[in-house]
Structure 1
Amino acid sequence: MVSFLLRRLVALLPVLALVLVIVFSLVRIIPGDPAVTLLGPGATNEQIAALRLQLGLDRPAAFQFFDYVGGLLQGNLGTSLKTGNGVLQEILIRLPATLELSICATLLAILIGIPIGVLSATWPNSGLDHVTRVVSLLGVSMPAFLLALILQLIFATYLGWLPVSGRISPYVATPTVTGFATLDGVINGDFGAMWSAVQHLVLPTVVLAAFLATTLGRFVRNTMLDVMTEDYIRTARAKGLSRSSVILHHGLRNSLLPAITITGLKFAEMLGGAILTETIFAWPGVGRFMFEAIKNRDYPVIQGTTLIFALLFMATSLLVDLLYGVLDPRVRRKMQ
């Protein structure tokens, strides 16, 4: 297992290098000049030239790239052109919000998607199966921004049950311990703050979980239909095991291993793909921070957030592979 982990870590280095080169190149293709964006349309050519010189944007791209790589080797992701603060510091402040949202969305998707898949596979081609397939198709097809706007309109504007945006009420203040607003409220014994955080968390969590839940439900259904035709399932039935025991202990258990891969990869995608959801709900996470950086042509922030997202994606993928080895002895033997 250790040798497998070391091989995977070494194999990730070229991928990181390629991601770094691509991102560094692409951000400079984005139309617009960061100096003009920062100074505004009324800036003179002399002011723009002076700011470009101060930020090092007047140097050739190759020199800028080597300077950036040198900073990375020292743990420096650069300085935000907009705020003047370190990019790593800005990301670490916002990362707990993105992690809290992604974790809650993943847990909700698992609680909804797996039971839907099991029920559909248990009674295939039934009315329930047809309904769940239609709902799954709708969940996969509906754009996240459209679902977000519909939920905001219904539950925030019309019914007034939930807040439309933000992470916690501005009238609530609780000390930060973990960076997870809900957990901090519990730790500090401030259940008013916890309830406010939960209310703000509901709508963006549902939007992010919708796609994963429907995808997971369809995947579990199809996998279980294949598993239920295997010989060991017929053997279990011949032994006189109950229907629920065959489905849950033999069918579902062997269907969950491939579902782990889907869940892990989709969780990693959530971390980097929550930009739109965080922006719509004014969620103060890394995704919204990246969106603002793209608008402001903030090169260091775009590069830093993309690199962090790539690292999180690769770390999650590696964790899924290791979990596969823990749960499946056949995979574990291949890792030796």
Structure 2
Amino acid sequence: MPLILLSALNRIALAAVTLFGVAVVVFVLLRVVPGDPIAMMISPGSTPEQIAQMRANYGLDGSILSQFWIWLKAILLGDFGTSISLRRNVLELLAERLPATLELAFAALVFAVLLGGAIAIIGTLVRRTFLEPVIDTVNGTILAVPDFVWALALILVFGVFFPVFPLSGRVDPSVQNDFFTYFYLLESPLTLRLSTIVDISSHMIMPVLALGLPLAAIIARVLKEALLEAMVQDYILLAKLKGKSNLRLIMQEALRNGIGPTVALTGVQFTFLIGGTVIVERIFAYPGIGNMAIDAVINRDLPLIQGLVLVFGALFILINLGVDLLVAAFNPRLRHA
């Protein structure tokens, strides 16, 4: 069995164990912290019998061990329970909100990769000139500002002073019911709805910038260091003697050999980017799972919180697994092992 396939199988098994551990920790913590989710649902005139019946309906009348066992069996059967605050199936809620977060996160990732890659290449081309410290200073400034601060600044500039983009939401309410799926950004070009693409993009520009700018700065810094290290290698000097320009050296030689560490770090940072959508979605009232997670915590909606944590955990694990496979694909020694 190839080494890369064996490594992938080992990581999948480890991912299942990790996800189970996350489920245990979250389940226990949610039940030992102060507060009663049922108390937030009952009306002032509810009788003790009605309260007990409601606890039984949500499976909160047994011991922690029995509650966990019932919940785990339901999860394995695809039943994530019913949201206490929204009175809806948790799996349906996740299916509605997850596509919005995934589209936002991937759009921010594409923007960050393109911008960060461009900055790194330009910074490598102008090395040892007066422009290099200027680019490094601008990049460092972008990196120092958190995503939520970028979000507030973008709202102030492009939503208040110069109202160019919508301040909240994902799409205009008048067209929201015209979609067949919840992947609005993916579905719109497939159905040739150009006006809808413009509307969705205008709603996403500010959240994408807020999430993507700090990641772009990280990518630029790491990729530039990798390119500078590659540019002094013997194979680069040999290619330079053949008359290749600096841009061709970077794009054809150095970039191919320096992209591995950048891919690894980008994958790790992408998991943090998905976690960062919680605050950014809240600021822009973006209807993703991050925004819903804050409401779930405020309302102490145990079934919804548990489902959200499992989804976030599964996303982190899948992203890290995908990054490991990409790193192996870019590394010839691992690919041919």
Fold agreement, TM-score > 0.5: yes
Match of 2:321 among 318, 323, 326: 318
Q: How far is 1:9 from its partner? A: 1.3
The range that moved more, 292-301 or 66-75, is 66-75
Q: Which residue, 194, 210, 217 being the options, matches 2:197?
A: 194
Aligned to 2:12: 9
State the shift of 1:29 in Å. Answer: 4.2
Bigger mean CA deviation after superposition, 3-12 or 208-217: 3-12
Asked if 2 retains the 8 angstrom alpha-carbon contact of 1:114 and 1:217, the reply is yes
Judged with a 3 Å threshold, the aligned counterparts in structure 2 of structure 1 residues 30 and 154 are, in CA distance, closer, same or farther, namely farther
Q: Match of 1:277, SS?
A: helix
Pair 1:289 & 2:280 matched: no
Give the distance between the partners of 1:80 and 1:173, measured in 2 at CA.
23
Aligned counterparts of 1:63 and 1:5: Cα–Cα separation in 2: 34
2:234 equivalent among 211, 231, 236: 231
Determine the structure 1 residue equivalent to 2:37: 34
Distance 2:220 2:32 in 1: 40
Q: Is the counterpart of residue 105 in structure 1 residue 86 in structure 2?
A: no
SS of equivalent residue, structure 2 residue 300: coil
Mapping 1:67-106, distance limit 5 Å: 67-106=70-109
CA positional deviation for 1:152? 0.7
Q: 2:270 is matched with which residue? A: 267
1:124 — aligned with what? 127
User: Would the aligned equivalents of 1:274 and 1:287 in 2 still touch at CA under 8 Å?
Assistant: yes
Give the Cα separation in 1 of the matches to 2:327 and 2:94.
30
Question: CA separation in 2, counterparts of 1:16 and 1:149?
Answer: 34
For the residues of structure 1 that align with 2:181 and 2:175, how far apart are their CA atoms?
17
How far the C-alpha of 1:173 sits from its partner, in A, is 4.2
> What secondary structure, in the 3-state scheme, does the structure 2 residue paired with 1:297 have?
coil
Q: Is 1:185 matched with 2:188?
A: yes
Measured in 1, the distance between the counterparts of 2:213 and 2:42 equals 41
Label 1:185 to 1:174 Cα distance change in 2 as closer, same or farther (>3 A).
farther
Q: Would you say the 8 A contact 1:156–1:162 is kept in 2?
A: yes
In structure 2, runs of 5+ residues without a counterpart are none
Alignment-mate amino acid for residue 15 of structure 2: L
How far apart, in 2, do the equivalents of 1:189 and 1:13 lie? 40
- CA deviations on 1:165-205 (whole Å, 9 max, x unpaired) are 10011233462234232333333333222211111010001
Between the aligned partners of 2:83 and 2:27, the Cα distance in structure 1 is: 15
Report the AA paired with residue 104 of structure 1: A
CA distance in 2, matches of 1:163, 1:267: 25
Which segments of 5 or more consecutive residues in structure 1 lack a partner in the other structure?
Answer: none
1:29 to 1:121, Cα distance in 2 relative to 1, 3 A: farther
> Offset of 1:72 from its aligned partner?
1.8
- How far the C-alpha of 1:291 sits from its partner, in A, is 1.3
The structure 1 segments of at least 4 consecutive aligned residues displaced by more than 4 Å after TM superposition are 42-45, 47-50
Displacement of 1:16: 1.4
Write out per-residue CA displacement over residues 117-175 of structure 1, whole angstroms, 9 at most, x where no aligned residue.
12222323533322222222222221222211111111011211111010011233462
Q: 1:252 aligns with which of 252, 255, 259?
A: 255
- Once the two structures are superposed, residues 43-90 of structure 1 have per-residue CA deviations (whole angstroms, 9 ceiling, x without a partner) of 667365553343222322111111111112212222211222221111
* Cα distance in 1, alignment partners of residues 42 and 21 from structure 2: 33
Q: Which moved more, 1:139-148 or 1:298-307?
A: 139-148
- Which of 157, 161, 165 is residue 164 of structure 2 equivalent to? 161
Contact persistence 2:97–2:289 (CA under 8 A)? yes
